[in-house]
Amino acid sequence: MNPLIRKLEGFGPLSDQDRAILTSVSASGHLIGPRVDLIREGDAPDGVILIMEGIACRQKHRANGARQITAYLVPGDACDLDVALLSRMDHTITTLSACRVVRVPLDVVKRLMEEHPAIARSLRMSTLVDEATLREWLVNVGCRSAIERIAHLFCELLLRLQVVGFASEDTYEFPVTQLDLADTVGLSNVHVNRSLQELRRQGVIELKGRTLRILDRQRLKSIAEFDAKYLHLGTRAAA
């Protein structure tokens, strides 16, 4: 099922007509390879980017080449509903893995918001959750140890991907390189590698190629002090 509809329906009921319009809005789209900038810092926004498959990210670069990834966009995630209000992007959006990407024209977004109140409400909820997630990531890099940061991210992704049907009870595709992961959690590649090895040694995760399996969910949650409330999943937060 369409991840955008799955995600938005989680925030509130949608009518058949709402579902039909969301299906048509997200139907087109392009397959884009990994490490492609979808829009760069300084560019004028030309639509709302919607990720239907794969993982993309928001990132900021320093002049010395260092970068910080500030958000992951997973299937069903649309970025910056109100981006039309900005004249220039203040960050870059890049694919981490191969993605199916839809660019929704600004006038279509405007019509969705004006003519479909249930969709508008869910999209606004989704923006609030994006902000809450950013706060949680800030706490992650500011207050948690290396292993805790990675455990927290793995817990969060399990829930976010389950909601849109891209994770089973304990397994999901994690097509993010170790270097990208390092720039996500603000650690060196060496510290990321050590933490992943430690999580493996403790029998908490299994990472085979790009497939992440969480062997001990309780232990992972406990390492991360993970509390899913910020994702506002309501009854969907079975994990």
Binding site for another protein (CB under 8 A): 64-66, 188, 190, 193-194, 197-198
Calculated CA dihedral for residues 57, 177, 35, 162, nearest 10 degrees: -40
Q: Which amino acid is at 204?
A: V
CB-nearer residue toward another protein: 191 or 232: 191
CB of 3 to another protein, least distance (A): 34
| Secondary structure (3-state) at 225 | coil
Q: Least distance to another protein from the beta carbon of 45, Å?
A: 30
Residue 171 tokens read as 């397994």
Phi, psi values for residue 66, rounded to 5°? -70, 155
Compute the least distance from the CB of residue 62 to another protein, in Å.
9
| 173 vs 198, beta carbon nearer another protein | 198
By beta-carbon proximity to another protein, the closer residue of 66 and 85 is 66
149: nearest Cα among 95, 92, 188: 188
Pick between residue 141 and residue 239 the one whose CB is nearest to another protein.
141
**What is the smallest separation between the CB atom of 42 and another protein, expressed in angstroms?**
23
Please report how close the Cβ of residue 91 comes to another protein at its closest, in angstroms. 19
Smallest separation (angstroms) from another protein to the CB of 189: 8
Given the complex with another protein, which of 127 and 202 has the nearer CB atom? 202
**What distance in Å separates the CA atoms of residue 10 and residue 114, rounded to the nearest whole number?**
20
Helix (H) or strand (E) holding 200: helix 189-201
Q: Which is nearer to another protein, 62 or 229 (CB)?
A: 62
The total of other beta-carbon atoms located within 10 Å of residue 188's CB is: 11
Number of Cβ atoms within 10 Å of the Cβ of 7: 24
CB atoms within 10 A of CB 43: 13
For residue 210, the 8-state DSSP code is T
Cα(54)–Cα(77) distance, integer angstroms: 11
